[in-house]
Chain A
Amino acid sequence: MSPAPATEVPAGPPAASPASEPVVAMTGITIQFPGVKALDDVSLRLFPGEVHALMGENGAGKSTLIKALTGVYPYDAGTVTLAGVEQRFTSPADAQAAGISTVYQEVNLCPNLTVTENIVLGREPRRRGSIDKRASRERARRVLAELHLDIDPRSVLGSHPIAVQQLVAIARAVDTDARVLVLDEPTSSLDAGEVAELFRVVRSLRERGVAILFVSHFLEQVYEISDRMTVLRNGRLVGEHRTADLPRTELVRAMIGRELATLEDLERAAPRPVEDGAVPRLSASGLGRRGAVEPADVAVHAGRVVGLAGLLGSGRTELTRLLFGADRATAGRVEVDGRPVRLRSPRSAIAQGIAFLSEDRKGEGVVGDLTVRDNVLLALQARRGWLRPIPRKAGDEMVARYIRALDVRPADPGALLRNLSGGNQQKVLLARWLLTEPRLLLLDEPTRGIDIGAKAQIQELVARLASEGMSVVFVSAELEEVLRICDSVVVLRDRHVVADLDASDTSLDGVVDLIARGDTRD
């Protein structure tokens, strides 16, 4: 119950900048959604030439605050001033015109147009009323050169990887002469090299006096790039700090408050031993897919939790998908209980008693317009085939049991799944798979983007399932989590498996080292 000493930290302007006037000052912002105060009296100050991190757990109100700043949401109370002048933006275009540009997590540019067009769109140089293509291209080239980016301005945006598209989005912001640049989780789909490139550009913008509001889940990145930070929790301001003055543990405590205790409470389960000569429940040898993950060996024994650790794009998700037949492998063999099987499709994997929770909850898990009941029963029903419907009463009972066991809220089987929060949606999807009584559960980032309570519940559930004999493959970007609940950890880097460790004698630093180390596979 001891939050960071919030209010008494009068974190002033960053040392780097002598400016004392904030370029953006949001004061007392309150946004009331029906039934919820999404933001309650939140303030934020942004100074020219600083990188300011906006921190908070999911649901803390970060996105809402950004949307209030950029004119997407109207706010019920409070003021926003830009360079001392009060503003009330009614659309993103408004905010952009005033010098506030936003780069979103999923790139909001047009993939069908060229890089040039994406940079100048809406503000094209014109000559006698018509767009001057040559001048457009020159301007794009100039902006890209300013940021030291080697991107062909004539190439079509969609032909570039996400990282480059994100840099183009920043170039667009620079082209608008943005005084304020909002980066909303720009790094979540980038690899280490791409992040470095992004940060190089961010630093050069900081030197030019641009105020940068940076939202990220990755603490390392926040500590690497930011000068100051504002921490939100539950729609309220917890504090404003100089990054250098706030130790990580304090930050985490401020972000998750007393809930941290519940996570620490989770005892690390005693490692479950593998009997000598036991046939693994699933073993893959040389399993790989061209362009996604290099051939790898994985074995999961009964009652064991195997973690896959690595950065995004390391192949951890790709490997998991191969184990489920969600993508087809181009190499390798898979055996279940010692019998060779071919995983051509999710159906063939399900027939082997494998279940898979996708990292893309919205895109590949939630069937939003159906009820909680229908969602829970979906996989079981699909396996039974449409001709053998689950009897209504039996279905109701099963659904009620799982809603209770997993503490799904609201506990209403008739609610549409899209109306539930992320954590509860995840529990429903877990219920969907548990109902099929799988022997191997593949969980790809099951705790990402959900609130901390649900997170703890899911972690404990995994431990319990394993103790009951289920095999689990657990993929997570959070190493602490992986080490806490897994018995062994497979580490991936650059689409290769680089290590297979016993979790009990592995330290966090050891895994970080493996993930971050340069090139050991040659």
Chain B
Amino acid sequence: MTVSDTRPPEAPDRPATPAAASRPGWQGAVRRWLRSTSTGSSTVSVLMTGVLLVVLFGAGSVRYENFGYPQVALNLLVDNAYLIVLAVGMTFVILTGGIDLSSGAVVALGTVMAASLLQAGWPAPLVIAAVLATGSLLGWLMGLAIHGLQLQPFIVTLAGMFLARGICFAISGPSIPIQDDLFTAVAINVVELPGGTFLSYGAVLALVVVALAAYVLHRTRFGRTVYAIGGSESSAALMGLAVGRTKVGVYVISGFCSALGGLLFSVYILSGWSLHGIGLELDAIAAVVIGGTLLVGGRGLVVGSLLGVLVLGTIKALIDFDGGLNSWWTKITIGVLLLVFVVLQRLTSRRAGTAS
């Protein structure tokens, strides 16, 4: 029993160092570091995802020539920038134990709004602001319904998904091309990196979003409240944390990220169409789960979601490179990966459950 480590009163000035932390050698150091991240077990699952990514990429480099180039790796970021941003928003929501099914539809709404407003002659900055505001507003409304009316996130965001797609169709059924100077400039120009490699502006923005999200989650009270709610919502409320504001906040963030993802997608594809991004929310959820975040909330890292997206991207790239494999293998592989990760999570949580 741990309580028996009662100390005599003279003990307190000695720092309470655990045995594990004082262990010498690299194992002790690793363990110390893992503990100090305050997300120990999440870090382990993120490391697992990282190893998987390296293995997948390594296998690709061995198997296919031209795969092992740095630019191929960077292209994973370039081609999946919008999905990264989406997964970041989804991570916030899932960390609180919620889910956002509307994000794919909001991406479509973003592309349609951007394309039609640009067509109508609005200046690009105003269009961007309008899209981001719409996404945030939709997220805010869904958050209010979830927290204020105590409806289930699954259902509320499902309605949000129908609403967003409906608005898309109402704005424009057919696809609208984007010819705006700013949008095409962002699409064409790249950030040159050493070694003749490059990143698109979208990819850079996605990385900035990941960094920002990591900062918010770990260094602000809002972020810690997100984790607290995922751990135990009632406790968080009794501890006096701003549960309501935070819960609404994560849906606003997710709506914002989806809208931003929509903008990145419209830059990537230079069109707005109401059927863009069908099922994208599932890709985002899959990326988050593969990235080691628990769907019940409270545990996970935004970096994991980034790695999760890259794993999905690598699988797609591998199948593209092969040429002999058909595109449906992508879906099957992602399904299998999801299964492996979910079963692993289940086994580890079961072990943790019996330990405590």
Residues of A within 8 A of B (CB): 91-94, 96-97, 102, 104, 107-114, 116-117, 121-122, 124, 129-131, 133, 141, 144-146, 148-156, 158-161, 163-164, 167, 172, 191, 193-194, 197, 200
Contact = CB atoms under 8 A, between A and B. Distances in A.
Nearest to A137: B36
Q: Which of A102, A107, A110 has the most CB of B within 10 A?
A: A110
Given A108-B235, A117-B224, A158-B356, A148 B9 contact: yes
B343 interface: no
B89 to A, nearest CB: 21
Contacts of B16: 141, 144-145, 149-153
Contacts of B326: none
A122 B241 contact: yes
A112 B224 CA distance: 11
Interface string B35-74: 1101011000000000000000000000000000000000
B224 A121 contact: yes
A114 B35 CA distance: 9
Contacts of A94: 240
B6 A124 contact: no
Given A109-B239, A122-B239, A163-B3, A152 B18 contact: yes
A121 B239 contact: yes
Contacts of A155: 18, 35
Given A124-B221, A141-B16, A159-B356, A150 B5 contact: yes
Contact of B236 (A91, A110, A124): A110
Contacts of B7: 148, 150
Contacts of B236: 110
B299 interface: yes
A279 B11 CA distance: 58
B1 A193 contact: yes
Interface string B235-256: 1111111000000000000000
A150 B6 CA distance: 7
Contacts of B299: 112
B333 to A, nearest CB: 31
A116 B38 CA distance: 9
A122 B240 contact: yes
A367 B138 CA distance: 38
Given A116-B38, A145-B12, A153-B16, A110 B356 contact: no
A56 B238 CA distance: 24
A163 B220 contact: no
A197 B35 contact: no
Given A130-B215, A193-B3, A108 B238 contact: yes
A146 B7 CA distance: 11
Contacts of A131: 218-221, 224
Contact of B21 (A152, A160, A172): A152
B231 interface: yes
B15 A156 contact: no
B13 A145 contact: yes
A111 B13 contact: no
Interface in B203-239: 215, 218-221, 224-225, 227-228, 230-232, 234-239
B236 to A, nearest CB: 7
B150 interface: no
24 contacts: A92-B237, A92-B238, A94-B240, A107-B235, A110-B236, A110-B298, A112-B299, A117-B38, A117-B224, A117-B228, A121-B225, A122-B221, A122-B241, A130-B215, A130-B220, A131-B221, A148-B11, A150-B5, A150-B6, A154-B36, A156-B41, A161-B3, A172-B239, A193-B4
B224 A124 contact: yes
CB-based closest 6 A-B pairs: A93-B240, A110-B231, A112-B231, A130-B219, A112-B298, A145-B12
A180 to B, nearest CB: 15
A110 B227 contact: yes
Contact of B35 (A92, A111, A154, A164): A154
Given A112-B227, A113-B227, A161 B2 contact: yes
A113 B217 CA distance: 13
Contacts of A172: 239
A154 B38 contact: yes
B12 A148 contact: yes
B355 interface: yes
Contacts of A114: 38
Contacts of A104: 238
B215 to A, nearest CB: 7
Contacts of A200: 6
B6 A148 contact: yes
A113 B38 contact: yes
Given A116-B38, A150-B11, A164-B2, 9 more contacts: A91-B240, A92-B240, A102-B238, A124-B221, A131-B224, A150-B6, A161-B2, A161-B3, A197-B3
A161 B1 contact: yes
A300 B183 CA distance: 82
Contacts of A124: 221, 224
A126 to B, nearest CB: 8
Given A131-B220, A145-B12, A110 B232 contact: yes
Contacts of B224: 113, 117, 121, 124, 131
Nearest to B227: A113
Contacts of A146: 12
Q: Which of B11, B16, B36, B218 has the most CB of A within 10 A?
A: B16
B235 A109 contact: yes
A160 B16 CA distance: 15
Contacts of B13: 145
Contacts of A141: 15-16
Contacts of A161: 1-3, 356
A150 B215 CA distance: 31
Contacts of B352: 158
Contacts of B1: 161, 163, 191, 193-194
A110 to B, nearest CB: 3
B182 to A, nearest CB: 32
Interface string B94-134: 00000000000000000000000000000000000000000
A518 to B, nearest CB: 14
